[in-house]
Structure 1
Amino acid sequence: MKKVLGVALGILTAIGGFVDIGDLVTNALVGARFGMRMAWVVVVGVIGICLYAEMSGRVVALSGRPVFDLIRERLGRRTGLVTLVASFLVTLLTLIAEIGGVALAFELASGVNYLLWMPLVALAVWLVIWRVKFSRLEQVFGLLGLLLIVFAVALFKLGPDWGQLVHQATNPHPVGHESWATYTYYAIALFGAAMTPYEVFFFSSGGVEEKWSRDDLVTARTNVFVGFPLGGLLSLAIAGCAAVLFLPAGIQVGTLGQVTLPVAVAFGKIGLAIVLIGVFAATFGAALETVLSCGYTIAQYRGWQWGKFVRPREASRFHVIMIVCLAIAVLTLLTAVDPVKVTEYSVVFAAMALPLTYLPILIVANDPDYVGRHTNGRVLNFFGLIYLGLLVVASVAAIPLMILTRAGQ
Structure 2
Amino acid sequence: MRNKRRFEFGPATLVAAAFIGPGTVVTATLAGANFGYALLWALLFSIAATIVLQEMAARLGIVTQKGLGESIASFVQQPWLRYGLFTLILLAVVVGNSVYQGGNLSGARLGLVELIPWLPSQSIPFILAVVAGIILWAGHYRLIERVLIALVAVMSFAFLATFVLTQPVWSELWQGLLQPSIPTGATLTVIALIGTTVVPYNLFLHASAVAQKWHAAEDLRYARRDIWVSVPLGGIISMAIVASAASAFFGRAIEINSAADMSRSLQPLFGDAASLFMAVGLFSAGLSSALTAPLAAAYALAGMFGFKGGLQGRAFRATWLIILVIGTVIASLGWRPIEVIWVAQIANGLLLPLMAAFLIWACNRPELGQYRNAWWQNAVAVLVWCVALALGVRSIGSAVGLW
TM-score by length of 1: 0.86
Query: 2-side partners of 1:349 and 1:36: how far apart?
Result: 32
2:29 aligned residue: 28
Equivalent AA in structure 1 for residue 291 of structure 2: L
Asked whether the 8 Å contact 1:20–1:98 carries over to 2, the reply is yes
2:392 aligned residue: 395
Compared with structure 1, are the counterparts of its residues 103 and 157 closer, same or farther at alpha carbon in structure 2 (3 Å cutoff)? closer
Query: 2-side partners of 1:378 and 1:220: how far apart?
Result: 21
Compared with structure 1, are the counterparts of its residues 337 and 2 closer, same or farther at alpha carbon in structure 2 (3 Å cutoff)? farther
Compared with structure 1, are the counterparts of its residues 166 and 274 closer, same or farther at alpha carbon in structure 2 (3 Å cutoff)? closer
Compared with structure 1, are the counterparts of its residues 79 and 294 closer, same or farther at alpha carbon in structure 2 (3 Å cutoff)? same
Query: 2-side partners of 1:343 and 1:99: how far apart?
Result: 16
Cα offsets for 1:99-158 (capped at 9, x unmatched): 222222222222235332112221221111112632122123323322333433433333
Cα offsets for 1:334-372 (capped at 9, x unmatched): 331369xx9999778744431122211221111122x22
Give the RMSD, CA atoms, in angstroms. Answer: 2.8
2:159 aligned residue: 151
Compared with structure 1, are the counterparts of its residues 265 and 204 closer, same or farther at alpha carbon in structure 2 (3 Å cutoff)? farther
Asked whether the 8 Å contact 1:189–1:344 carries over to 2, the reply is no
Query: 1-side partners of 2:137 and 2:302: how far apart?
Result: 17
The answer to whether residue 175 in structure 2 is matched with residue 173 in structure 1 is no
Of the structure 1 ranges 393-402 and 354-363, higher mean CA displacement relative to structure 2 is found in: 393-402
Query: 1-side partners of 2:330 and 2:274: how far apart?
Result: 32
Compared with structure 1, are the counterparts of its residues 335 and 365 closer, same or farther at alpha carbon in structure 2 (3 Å cutoff)? same
2:211 aligned residue: 208
1:191 aligned residue: 194
> Which of 4, 9, 21 is the equivalent residue of 2:11?
9
Query: 1-side partners of 2:374 and 2:70: how far apart?
Result: 23
Q: How far apart are 1:54 and its partner, in Å?
A: 0.6
Query: 2-side partners of 1:229 and 1:155: how far apart?
Result: 17
The answer to whether residue 92 in structure 2 is matched with residue 94 in structure 1 is no
2:128 aligned residue: 121
Asked whether the 8 Å contact 2:34–2:250 carries over to 1, the reply is yes
1:256 aligned residue: 259
Query: 1-side partners of 2:87 and 2:140: how far apart?
Result: 32
The answer to whether residue 141 in structure 2 is matched with residue 134 in structure 1 is yes
2:382 aligned residue: 385
Asked whether the 8 Å contact 1:60–1:208 carries over to 2, the reply is yes
Structure 2: 5+ residue stretches without partners:
none
Cα offsets for 1:13-37 (capped at 9, x unmatched): 21321x2111111100111011122
Q: How does 1:211-360 map to 2 (within 5 A)?
A: 211-261=214-264, 264=267, 268-308=271-311, 312=312, 315-337=313-335, 350-360=348-358
The answer to whether residue 85 in structure 2 is matched with residue 80 in structure 1 is yes
Query: 1-side partners of 2:205 and 2:54: how far apart?
Result: 10
Query: 1-side partners of 2:165 and 2:192: how far apart?
Result: 29
Query: 1-side partners of 2:182 and 2:97: how far apart?
Result: 31
Aligned residue-pair number: 389
Asked whether the 8 Å contact 2:42–2:190 carries over to 1, the reply is yes
Equivalent AA in structure 2 for residue 80 of structure 1: L
Compared with structure 1, are the counterparts of its residues 135 and 58 closer, same or farther at alpha carbon in structure 2 (3 Å cutoff)? same
Compared with structure 1, are the counterparts of its residues 13 and 185 closer, same or farther at alpha carbon in structure 2 (3 Å cutoff)? same
Of the structure 1 ranges 322-331 and 377-386, higher mean CA displacement relative to structure 2 is found in: 322-331
Query: 2-side partners of 1:267 and 1:205: how far apart?
Result: 43
Query: 1-side partners of 2:291 and 2:151: how far apart?
Result: 14
1:162 aligned residue: 170
Q: How far apart are 1:382 and its partner, in Å?
A: 0.9
The answer to whether residue 60 in structure 2 is matched with residue 59 in structure 1 is yes
Compared with structure 1, are the counterparts of its residues 45 and 346 closer, same or farther at alpha carbon in structure 2 (3 Å cutoff)? farther
Asked whether the 8 Å contact 2:105–2:327 carries over to 1, the reply is yes
Q: How far apart are 1:273 and its partner, in Å?
A: 4.2
Of the structure 1 ranges 52-61 and 125-134, higher mean CA displacement relative to structure 2 is found in: 125-134
Query: 1-side partners of 2:148 and 2:270: how far apart?
Result: 23
Q: How far apart are 1:264 and its partner, in Å?
A: 4.8
Equivalent AA in structure 2 for residue 400 of structure 1: G
Structure 1: 5+ residue stretches without partners:
none
Equivalent AA in structure 1 for residue 375 of structure 2: R
Query: 1-side partners of 2:75 and 2:192: how far apart?
Result: 30
Compared with structure 1, are the counterparts of its residues 9 and 259 closer, same or farther at alpha carbon in structure 2 (3 Å cutoff)? farther
Q: How far apart are 1:248 and its partner, in Å?
A: 1.7
Asked whether the 8 Å contact 1:242–1:262 carries over to 2, the reply is no
Compared with structure 1, are the counterparts of its residues 135 and 272 closer, same or farther at alpha carbon in structure 2 (3 Å cutoff)? farther
Asked whether the 8 Å contact 1:50–1:224 carries over to 2, the reply is yes
Identical positions, percent: 21
